[in-house]
Amino acid sequence: MKNAGIPVRGRDFTDEEIRSFVGDLESLQSGDLTVSLLVGCGPRAVAPLREFLLRGNPRGIFQPRQRAVEALAELGAWDILMEFLSQQRVIQDAVVRFGEEAVESSAARELGRWHTEEVFQFLMKFGGCRRLIGVIEALGTFERPEAARLFVGALEDDVCRTAAEASLRRIAARVKPVLFESAQAVVEEERPAALYRRRRVLRILADLKLSSEEWETLRPLLKDRDTEIAVDAAQVAMEAAPHAEKCEASELLIRSLEHAPWFQQIQIHECLDRHYALVRDLIAKEIEKRQRKPHREQGNDHVLRILLAVRLARETLGKAEASPDVGSRR
């Protein structure tokens, strides 16, 4: 609670004064202080706050309504927050609609304080109809597998995707079937948002420890038409696939270095480094092939630089580990 050091007791103020405090939420200078004042008034402030939130007009300047949401949450009025979110409003003005969505997100986020079945089911139903970041964040605090599909869908939303991924990662080990299904849900003409969703789901799976049986589910992604997904699948294969497929995947990774975006080049570098014992000969062969090029071309060959860096790092580490001086210091 803000400004908790200010002594305020509900019996110190009349109902008219409390209503006046609610009006003061509009103040740009003292609005935040007024929240603490209203919370200090206790349950008597709930009714005027409800009136302000449910009957007030949405506006482009939405902070006063957010303050009312904050005060109601501090007063434990979760039922009024649900009542507010249940309202059906059609707002034509885009600026006002954006502002009211911010207020609704705040209300949903505050509901995450109450981990009850009623609140969870309400948020699930609301989130199934509308994607708001506050809903995703609130549901994420429950860490319940039932919300996995909602989180996966929210990965396609520019505003919600970061919160959705964070929420998914907290429950990923318990919702693998949903993630496997989403990673492979390819359509003929894939929208950019759907492609992003598949990429992020596969990255979440790649960060889990998958069994060889689970890898079988993802094997088709090695031939995915999206290069980024195929590269991610190859990295998963290096961890979970049988030996023969690991060799195939390592070849794909080295080939992909040519055109992969910079962040995947870093990932491939790290993957090859982790599995150097397996890919040593393949890297040596590729380095030898590229070093046959003219010196000018070699200087511009970023794939050669990456492979040389991998080999140098591993060989340097190997020499250090084999050094008697290092062993004696241990």
pLDDT tens sequence across 238-247: 999 999 899 9
**pLDDT class of 6 with cuts at 50, 70, 90:** very low
Would you state the pLDDT for residue 59? 86
Q: Is residue 5 predicted with pLDDT exceeding 60?
A: no
Widest CA span in the chain: 89
**pLDDT class of 9 with cuts at 50, 70, 90:** very low
Vertex 321, ends 319 and 322: CA angle to 5°? 65
What's the rounded Cα separation, in Å, for the pair 135 and 130?
9
**pLDDT class of 190 with cuts at 50, 70, 90:** confident
| Long-range CB contacts for residues 275-281, cutoff 8 Å, separation at least 24 | 275/238, 275/246, 275/250, 276/310, 276/311, 276/314, 278/238, 278/246, 278/247, 278/250, 279/250, 279/254, 280/311, 280/314
Both tokens assigned to 275: 């599995």
Would you state the pLDDT for residue 49? 96
What's the rounded Cα separation, in Å, for the pair 268 and 233?
11
What's the rounded Cα separation, in Å, for the pair 75 and 49?
10
What's the rounded Cα separation, in Å, for the pair 132 and 138?
10
Q: Is residue 317 predicted with pLDDT exceeding 80?
A: no
Would you state the pLDDT for residue 27? 79
Would you state the pLDDT for residue 323? 65
Both tokens assigned to 68: 């009312």
What's the rounded Cα separation, in Å, for the pair 169 and 144?
12
Residue 233 contacts residue 256 (beta carbons within 8 Å): no
Residues 50-64 have a mean pLDDT of 91
Q: Is residue 328 predicted with pLDDT exceeding 60?
A: no
Residue 222 contacts residue 248 (beta carbons within 8 Å): yes
Contacts of 221 (CB under 8 A, 6+ apart): 183, 184, 202, 229, 230, 232, 233
Q: Is residue 95 predicted with pLDDT exceeding 70?
A: yes
Domain spans, the chain: 1-111, 112-181
What's the rounded Cα separation, in Å, for the pair 267 and 257?
10
Which of 262, 281, 274 minimizes the C-alpha distance to 317?
Answer: 274
DSSP states of 205-248 as a string? Answer: HHTS---HHHHHHHGGGGG-SSHHHHHHHHHHHHHHS-HHHHHH
* Lowest model confidence (mean pLDDT) among 133-142, 283-292, 320-329: 320-329
Give Rg (Cα) of the chain. Answer: 28
Both tokens assigned to 312: 């140098």
Highest mean pLDDT out of 78-92, 165-179, 307-321? 165-179
Both tokens assigned to 211: 């069994």
Residues 139-166 have a mean pLDDT of 96
CA torsion angle 304 306 309 315 (round to 10): -80
Would you state the pLDDT for residue 72? 97
